[in-house]
Amino acid sequence: MSAPTLTRTVRSESPEETHRLGVRLGELLQPGDFVGLIGDLGAGKTHLVRGVAQGAQVPRSEVASPTFAIVYPYNGRIPLHHADLYRIADYDELYATGFLDLLGGESAVLVEWLDRIPEAAPREYLRITLRPSGEDARELHAEAFGPRPAELLTAWLA
Ligand SMILES: Nc1ncnc2c1ncn2[C@@H]1O[C@H](COP(=O)(O)OP(=O)(O)O)[C@@H](O)[C@H]1O
Ligand SMILES: [Mg+2]
C-alpha cells in the first residue's frame, strides 16, 4: 500500500471526548467519503461512529436500532452507511453483501474492523486507528489516503 497523504494523532481523554470528535467528523462528511475504523474490542470505534451519526444529523433512534445486518443505512444530512466487518470472513463474502456497491456513490461510508478486510477500502479513504492509552484515554491515529481524505482530516482536527 502507498504511503498516506497526511497523518495526524489526537488523544481523547474520555468517551465523551471521543463522541465529540465523532460529531465534528460527522459534520464534515460528504457523499463518497469513506472512513475505516480499526481497533480492538472496546477501543471506542462505536463511540466514535455514534458521534459521527449525530454530527451527520442521523435521528438517534436509527443508530440505536439493534440489528444483525453487516451494513446499516442511516438517513442523515447525507446518506450514511455504517458497516461492521467483524463477522465477515473474506472479500468474497463481503462482495455478496452488496457492500461494494456503496463505494463511490451518494453515501458516506463508515466501516468498523476494516483491518479484517483491508481490500474493502477504496483507493482514497481516511483510516482511523484507536488505541487505549490509559483507562479512559485513547489515541486516535488518523491516516488520509488521497487529497479529499487529507482535506477532511485537516478540517476535522483544525
Ligand atoms: N476515551 C475513550 N473513548 C472511547 N471509549 C472509551 C474511552 N475511555 C473509555 N472508553 C470505554 O471504552 C468502551 C468503548 O466501547 P465501544 O465504543 O463499543 O468500542 P468498540 O466499538 O471499539 O468495540 C466503552 O465502554 C467506553 O466507555
Ligand atoms: Mg463496535
Would you state the pLDDT for residue 67? 63
> Would 12 be classed as within a structural domain?
yes
DSSP 63: H
| DSSP-derived pairing of the beta strands 79-84 and 108-112 | parallel
> pLDDT tens-digit profile of 3-28?
999 999 999 999 999 999 999 999 99
Task: Please give the residue range of the domain that contains residue 127.
Answer: 6-156
> Would 72 be classed as within a structural domain?
yes
Instruction: Give residues (CB < 6 A) around ligand 1.
Output: 12, 14-15, 17-18, 39, 41-47, 136-138
71-75, strands of its sheet edge to edge: 6-12, 138-145, 125-132, 34-38, 108-112, 79-84, 71-75
Nearest residue (CA) to ligand 1, atom 13: 42
Res. 32: pLDDT tops 90: yes
| CATH number, domain with residue 96 | 3.40.50.300
CA 3 to chain centre: 19
> Would 1 be classed as within a structural domain?
no
> Would 77 be classed as within a structural domain?
yes
Reading the block at residue 84, the C-alpha cell is 461492521
> Would 144 be classed as within a structural domain?
yes
Pocket test for ligand 1, best of 47, 48, 111 (most atoms within 8 A of CB): 47
> What is the CA(48)–ligand 2 centre distance, in A?
9
Structural domains in the chain (count): 1
